[in-house]
């Protein structure tokens, strides 16, 4: 052995660092690139500000000595961990390296991730996980379970404390999908990322079902059917840029406000074309996203889960430079009815915004909950109650604007006076009522209509009278169930004014360990 000197030990260090940098070696890296994917380290370089990454535990190695594993030592043990900045703001990140032991999660691999999670929680900065893993490392068996479970425990401790973002960057199975499922948002990549609990081979052997990885757990499945994937991008680079964009709306932790961004969009700008976008004939649908982009700063709206629960639109935007969460019924899809999927989607987003001090702006045009046996059997009572719970629980500023329809139980589900909305407005054409006019008249005046000489004419007369007296926003405004009736052109300015007024809102709730949301 050569004598130890500064030079020999620095050379030894550099050699180990280079081995860690190469991961599974040049051939494995070339295979990764041939599949259109970046390596674990390349992903971090794209995600973070240039030159800002500082690595943790670069030389950590797995501690398994069974099944000839002692011959397969890799510095880093298949995951790159550390911290850096995005737009100059601190974040913590770990990136699984599929070129090393398939990115499998062993004891050391899990320990590195847990260490990074602990630092993120302690410091109060967002945590980003870039996942590509076949799941638990079978060679280590139960030995790895402590740190695997430790990841889930830390995800749970961090929930509502720091933003947690997951990106599925390749095939992820088993334990590698449970940690992302606990986090706030999941990103996926078209064609190259999949996630499932049990892979196609086991399903075929146990259940006799034939399915390929993409059909089982690809981005399309999880963004449209399961609702697990909040964002989908065509490649690794765009996915990582999407994470950067999302973080631009979010605070570092739950004790801070979201960052203010000078957008240059006049807060008093009128929105004169909203009456053209939203027909005053309720039989005609429209795209509520056109309303959203006209109201928010520079039309910049980051929609979340756009292809799941499509009767409801959710996402992040800015009003006068301040982040807001938008919750809006979508009349283009089933008239904007709330259903099982849209209720889940909305409730989870509302609770996220409340956890991270993001005010809520609710745009309402809803005929009620979607009727039918399919919805009832799927638990619409329980799922719809999540919306009620989430709004009632939220203490951030809540502003509701009634555009057109606002019927039945959905009135409460979209946040009204009874669920402690802070400001509630309506356009002059709005109908905040229990039932639409025709249905209400048929019930209330059934005998009068049936006994009239001309029932059709009598019904039409009753509809006109009821519409003028009750099916309008002026009646509830007179009873202080609405704070104001506003012209559509004033919408942006009035929302910004209300949010400015509510900026210092403080609301104390009774002490409790936690509530019991109807999951």
DSSP 196: E
295: left (phi over 0), alpha (psi -120 to 50) or beta: alpha
Q: What is the DSSP string of 7-21?
A: HHHHHHHHHHHHHHH
Helices (DSSP H) in 358-488: which residue ranges? 373-377, 380-393, 410-413, 437-444, 446-450, 455-469, 474-478
| Buried-state track 28-57, b at ≥16 Cβ within 10 A, e below 16 | bbeebeeeebbbbbbbbbbbbeeebbebbb
pLDDT for res 327: 98
Question: What is the overall mean pLDDT for the chain?
Answer: 90
SS3 322: strand
Dig out the tokens for 438 from the structure: 């025709």
Burial label for 460, CB within 10 Å (0-12, 13-18, 19+), is middle
Cβ contacts of 153 within 8 Å, gap of 6 or more:
none
Type and span of the H or E element at 187? strand 185-189
32: left (phi over 0), alpha (psi -120 to 50) or beta: alpha
CA distances from 110 to 148, 152, 181, 189, 317 (A): 6, 10, 17, 24, 35
Intervals of the chain under pLDDT 70? 1, 62-73, 103, 135-145
Half-sphere exposure of residue 198: CA atoms within 13 angstroms, side-chain side: 10
Task: Tell me how far apart the alpha carbons of residues 385 and 377 are, in angstroms, rounded to a whole number.
Answer: 15
Q: For the domain covering 274-434+472-501, report its CATH number.
A: 3.90.226.10
Rounded to an integer, what is the distance from CA 492 to the centroid of its chain?
A: 24
Task: Tell me how far apart the alpha carbons of residues 325 and 362 are, in angstroms, rounded to a whole number.
Answer: 8
Dig out the tokens for 416 from the structure: 């009204």
pLDDT for res 323: 98
For 232, phi then psi, to 5°, come to -130, 135
Task: Tell me how far apart the alpha carbons of residues 503 and 433 are, in angstroms, rounded to a whole number.
Answer: 30
SS3 150: helix
Contact 377, 340 (CB under 8 A): no
Helices (DSSP H) in 23-159: which residue ranges? 26-34, 40-47, 107-123, 145-158
The helix-helix angle for 145-158 and 175-182 (nearest 10°) equals 10
CA distances from 64 to 20, 73, 96, 138, 194 (A): 18, 9, 19, 11, 28
Cβ contacts of 438 within 8 Å, gap of 6 or more:
463
Contact 291, 278 (CB under 8 A): yes
Task: Tell me how far apart the alpha carbons of residues 400 and 423 are, in angstroms, rounded to a whole number.
Answer: 6
Top-tier CATH class for 37-247:
alpha beta
Dig out the tokens for 262 from the structure: 């000078």
CA distances from 478 to 360, 368, 470, 474, 499 (A): 25, 24, 11, 6, 23
Task: Tell me how far apart the alpha carbons of residues 349 and 319 are, in angstroms, rounded to a whole number.
Answer: 18
- Tell me the pLDDT tens digit for each residue of 115-132: 999 999 999 999 999 999
Contact 145, 172 (CB under 8 A): no
pLDDT for res 227: 96
For 301, phi then psi, to 5°, come to -130, 120
pLDDT for res 419: 86
pLDDT for res 359: 98
278: left (phi over 0), alpha (psi -120 to 50) or beta: beta
DSSP β-bridge partners for residue 323? 318
Question: What spatial distance separates the first Cα and last Cα of the chain, rounded to whole Å?
Answer: 63
Cβ contacts of 213 within 8 Å, gap of 6 or more:
171, 194, 196, 199, 200
- Tell me the pLDDT tens digit for each residue of 351-389: 999 999 999 999 999 999 999 999 999 999 999 999 999
Task: Tell me how far apart the alpha carbons of residues 434 and 467 are, in angstroms, rounded to a whole number.
Answer: 13
Asked whether the domain spanning 274-434+472-501 has the same topology as the one spanning 37-247, the reply is yes
Residue written as tokens 């229990």?
A: 434
Closest CA to 250 of 241, 259, 242: 259
Instruction: Spell out the domain ranges in the chain.
Output: 37-247, 274-434+472-501, 437-470
Contact 87, 49 (CB under 8 A): yes
The residue count of the chain comes to: 519
Contact 232, 189 (CB under 8 A): yes
- Tell me the pLDDT tens digit for each residue of 131-178: 998 766 655 555 566 777 888 999 999 999 999 999 999 998 877 788
């Amino acid at each position: 052995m050569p004598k130890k000197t500064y030079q020999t030990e620095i050379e030894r260090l550099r050699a180990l660092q280079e081995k860690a940098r190469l991961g599974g070696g040049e051939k494995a890296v070339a295979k990764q690139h041939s599949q259109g994917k970046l390596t674990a380290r390349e992903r971090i370089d794209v995600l973070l500000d240039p030159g800002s990454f500082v690595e943790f535990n670069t030389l950590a190695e797995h501690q398994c000595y069974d099944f000839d594993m002692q011959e397969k030592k890799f510095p880093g043990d298949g995951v790159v961990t550390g911290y850096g900045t995005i737009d100059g703001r601190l974040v913590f990140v770990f990136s699984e390296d599929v070129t090393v032991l398939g990115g499998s999660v062993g004891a050391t691999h899990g320990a590195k991730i847990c260490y990074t999670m602990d630092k993120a929680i302690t410091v109060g900065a967002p945590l980003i996980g870039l996942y590509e893993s076949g799941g638990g490392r079978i060679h280590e068996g139960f030995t790895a379970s402590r740190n695997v479970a430790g990841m889930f425990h830390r995800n749970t401790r961090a929930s509502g404390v720091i933003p947690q973002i997951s990106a599925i960057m390749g095939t992820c199975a088993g334990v590698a999908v449970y940690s992302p499922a606990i986090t706030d948002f999941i990103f996926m990549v078209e064609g190259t990322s999949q996630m499932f609990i049990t892979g196609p081979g086991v399903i075929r052997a146990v259940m006799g079902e034939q399915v390929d990885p993409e059909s089982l757990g690809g981005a399309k499945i999880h963004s449209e059917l399961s609702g697990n994937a909040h964002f989908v991008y065509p490649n690794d680079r765009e996915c990582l840029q999407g994470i950067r964009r999302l973080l631009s709306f979010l605070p570092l932790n739950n004790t801070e406000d979201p960052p203010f961004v000078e957008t240059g969009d006049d807060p008093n700008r009128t929105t004169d074309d909203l009456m053209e976008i939203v027909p005053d004939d309720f039989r005609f649908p429209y795209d509520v996203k056109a309303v959203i982009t006209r109201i928010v700063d520079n039309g910049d709206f980051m929609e979340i889960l756009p292809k799941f629960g499509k009767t409801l639109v959710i996402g992040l935007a800015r009003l006068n430079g301040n982040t807001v969460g938008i919750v809006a019924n979508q009349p283009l899809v089933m008239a904007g009815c709330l259903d099982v999927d849209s209720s889940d989607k909305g409730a989870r987003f509302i609770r996220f915004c409340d956890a991270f001090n993001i005010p809520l702006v609710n745009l309402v045009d809803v005929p009620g909950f979607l009727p039918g046996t399919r919805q009832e059997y799927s638990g619409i009572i329980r799922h719809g109650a999540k919306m009620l719970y989430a709004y009632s629980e939220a203490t951030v500023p809540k502003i509701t604007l009634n555009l057109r329809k606002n019927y039945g139980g959905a009135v409460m589900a979209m946040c009204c006076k009874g669920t402690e909305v802070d400001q509630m407005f309506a356009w002059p054409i709005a109908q905040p009522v229990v039932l639409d006019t025709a249905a209400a008249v048929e019930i209330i005046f059934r005998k009068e209509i049936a006994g009239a000489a001309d029932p059709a004419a009598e019904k039409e007369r009753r509809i006109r009278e009821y519409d003028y007296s009750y099916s309008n926003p002026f009646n509830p405004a007179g009873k202080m169930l609405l704070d104001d009736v506003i012209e559509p052109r004033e919408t942006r300015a009035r929302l910004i004014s209300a949010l400015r007024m509510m900026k210092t809102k403080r609301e104390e709730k009774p002490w409790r360990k936690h509530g019991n949301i109807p999951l």
